[in-house]
Amino acid sequence: MSTYGHLFRVTTYGESHCSSVGAIIDGCPPGLQLTPDDIQAQLNRRRPGQSNLTTPRNEKDRVILQSGLEHDVTLGTPIALLVKNEDQRPHDYSETDLYPRPSHADYTYLEKYGVKASSGGGRSSARETIGRVAAGAIAEKYLKQAYGIEVIAFVSSVGKVHIPFSVQRPAQDDEDDGKAEDALSEEFRQLLATITREQVDQHPTRCPHLETAEKMTQRIIRAKDNSDSIGGTVTCVIRNVPSGLGEPVFDKFEATLGHAMLSIPATKAFEIGSGFRGTEVPGSKHNDPFVLKTDGSGRLGTTTNWSGGVQGGITNGEDIYFRIGFKSPATISQAQATAQYDGTPGSLAARGRHDPCVVPRAVPIVEAMASIVVMDQLLIQNARKTAAALLPPITTLPKTMVMPGKVQNKEQNGTA
């Protein structure tokens, strides 16, 4: 339904043409400094009309906080926030009174609810994501302050225009096992390790590889000129996530992450680490060997990271990276042969101004959902760790059960 999360819970509301859209964020830790500006920054990145590549509708989207804070500090109580809808009555959609837009939610919402809102598939509107982005900005601020966690997403492809070194070597049906690098180049992994949000925002496409960004621009303009649309992919990296997050068995880290990403409008695909292409690499080349970390922590890291920071559904402390596929927007002003609600064949050319490509604006949405997932999983794992740390050490176990180092750690500092 409209609530996500267990201990950090986000409930959103709002359609395109109602009074406002917004969210209640429940479970934010108390004592976090938070101002509307912390949230507005990401809302501005989501907002349409940022460049000539996106829809020119003017949505100011100022966040208004309702509760949960005093003197810019969170109280631990629910934070309600809203953004007013300036355009509360539909004008442009009159054909869609007769026609369900092909591949849009108009038809399925009517099938689901039996009533047709003026905005068609109302909650499927991209405006619904305002609440998510705001909630994600709060989670992200906490994660940054408490753990130094960084969440950076960027556009990795628009149509067939990919960042070149992100393209995987075509699979060959042959005797050559290939190597894991075929699935993920060294250059791309370097990008993931170092990319900043500033680099992402250098170009309106939010593709940090500027040469590719220019090609993407051309691709989007071509779609726009054709009254057509085009899809793309967003890649995201999360750095400095502690190990141990993710709940066996149904709420593995990648399962909840995939759930969150596939709940973003227009998404159709998700892969983590080496993803689909990695399935073609044999285990001997795909496994990530362990090595003692050089940071003096006495902990293990991995020399490679084809797993994308998650093994057995649980984070291992390495960078988490993943890719999401967004289909081409369904609403286009080019005429399409289709049928009316009552089955009458006809042709629909959607009026109004529509995004020819959503991926640049999807970047902060992906970051928001990623932050929410990490936040919720972190709270759950901390509940367990805190509980385990309060138990007396057990000294009678066989060596095979608990590692000697772990038992010593437990005795020394009281944490399990």
Closest CA to 8 of 296, 372, 406: 372
Burial degree of 156 (CB within 10 A; 0-12, 13-18, 19+) = buried
Q: In angstroms, what is the minimal distance from the CB of 202 to a copy of itself?
A: 21
Alpha-carbon radius of gyration of the chain: 23
Return the number of the residue (246 or 364) whose C-beta is nearest a copy of itself.
246
φ, ψ (nearest 5 deg) of residue 413:
-125, 10
Distance CA 106, CA 46 (A): 23
Q: In angstroms, what is the minimal distance from the CB of 75 to a copy of itself?
A: 5
Q: In angstroms, what is the minimal distance from the CB of 176 to a copy of itself?
A: 8
Return the number of the residue (57 or 341) whose C-beta is nearest a copy of itself.
341
Active site residue 104: yes
Record the tokens describing residue 74, joined without a space: 């969170």
Q: In angstroms, what is the minimal distance from the CB of 282 to a copy of itself?
A: 5
Return the number of the residue (194 or 409) whose C-beta is nearest a copy of itself.
409
**How many H helices and E strands in the chain?**
11, 18
Q: In angstroms, what is the minimal distance from the CB of 16 to a copy of itself?
A: 10
Dihedral (Cα; 366, 88, 93, 204), 10-degree rounding: -30
Return the number of the residue (185 or 243) whose C-beta is nearest a copy of itself.
243
* 8 Å CB contact between 83 and 61: yes
Query: Does the N-terminal peptide bond of residue 249 adopt cis geometry, omega within 30 degrees of 0?
Result: yes
Residue of 106, 182, 355, 376 marked catalytic: 355
Active site residue 17: yes
Residue of 26, 61, 104, 376 marked catalytic: 104
Return the number of the residue (151 or 155) whose C-beta is nearest a copy of itself.
155
Residues recognised as catalytic = 17, 104, 355
